[in-house]
Amino acid sequence: MSRAEVLASVDIVALRLNPAGALDLLLIRRARAPFADRWALPGVLVNGRCADPSLDAAAERALHDKARLRPQHLEQVATVGNARRDPRGWSLSTFYLALVAPATTLEDEDLRFVALDEVLHGRLALPFDHAELVAQAHERLAGKAVYSSLPLHLLAPRFTVTEALAAFQACLGQAVQHTTLRGRLERMKSAGWILDTGERQQPRMGRPQRVLEQRPGAGGVYLFDRSVLS
Amino acid sequence: MSRAEVLASVDIVALRLNPAGALDLLLIRRARAPFADRWALPGVLVNGRCADPSLDAAAERALHDKARLRPQHLEQVATVGNARRDPRGWSLSTFYLALVAPATTLEDEDLRFVALDEVLHGRLALPFDHAELVAQAHERLAGKAVYSSLPLHLLAPRFTVTEALAAFQACLGQAVQHTTLRGRLERMKSAGWILDTGERQQPRMGRPQRVLEQRPGAGGVYLFDRSVLS
DNA sequence: ATAATAGTGTCTGTGAGACATTATGTA
DNA sequence: TACATAATGTCTCACAGACACTATTAT
Q: Across the beta sheet with B194-201, what order do the strands follow?
A: B158-159, B209-214, B194-201
CA-based nearest residue to A161, from A112, A200, A117: A200
CA distance A197 to A121: 40
Chain A residues touching residue B140 (CB < 8 angstroms): none
Length of chain A: 230
Largest CA distance in chain B: 69
Q: Are B88 and A1 in contact (CB under 8 A)?
A: yes
Q: Which of B9, B47, B146, B229 to substitute to test the interface with A, most A CBs within 10 Å?
A: B47
SS in 3 state form for B22-66? CEEEEEEECCCCCCCCCEECCEEECCCCCCCCCHHHHHHHHHHHH
pLDDT value of residue A229:
52
**Residue A3's pLDDT is what?**
58
Candidates A5, A76, A80; nearest CB to B6 = A5
* Predicted local confidence at residue A168, as pLDDT: 98
A46 touches chain B (CB under 8 A): yes
Tell me the C-alpha distance between B9 and B154, whole Å.
25
pLDDT number for residue A52: 83
Residues of B with Cβ-Cβ distance to A147 under 8 angstroms: 147, 227
Return the exposure string of B85-106: e unless at least 16 CB atoms fall within 10 Å of the residue's CB, then b: bbeeebbbbbbbbbbbbbebee
pLDDT of residue B19: 95
Report the distance from CA of residue B204 to the C1' of nucleotide D3 in Å, as an integer: 12
Q: Identify the weakest region by mean pLDDT among A39-53, A62-76, B53-67.
A: A39-53
Instruction: State how far residue A220 is from chain B, nearest Cα, in angstroms.
Output: 16
| Closest nucleotide to B228 by C1' from CA | C16
Query: Residues of chain A with pLDDT > 70: what percent?
Result: 97
Per-residue pLDDT, averaged over A1-20, amounts to 87
Spell out which residues of chain B touch residue A58, defining contact as CB-CB under 8 Å: 81
A115-140 pLDDT, tens per residue? 999 999 999 999 999 999 999 999 99
Cβ B204 vs Cβ B184: under 8 Å: no
**B165: which nucleotide lies closest, measuring CA to C1'?**
D6
Dihedral pair phi/psi, residue A110, rounded to 5°: -90, 10
* Closest-approach nucleotide to residue B183, Cα vs C1': C15
C-alpha–C-alpha distance, residues B30 and B217, integer Å: 37
Q: Model pTM?
A: 0.95
Q: Tens digit of pLDDT per residue, chain B (230 long)?
A: 445 678 999 999 999 999 999 999 999 999 998 999 999 999 999 987 777 899 999 999 999 999 999 999 999 999 999 999 999 999 999 999 999 999 999 989 999 999 999 999 999 999 999 999 999 999 999 999 999 999 999 999 999 999 999 999 999 999 999 999 999 999 999 999 999 999 999 999 999 999 999 999 888 999 998 877 54
Q: How far is CA A115 from CA A15, A35, A97, A120, B134, in A?
A: 10, 21, 16, 9, 39
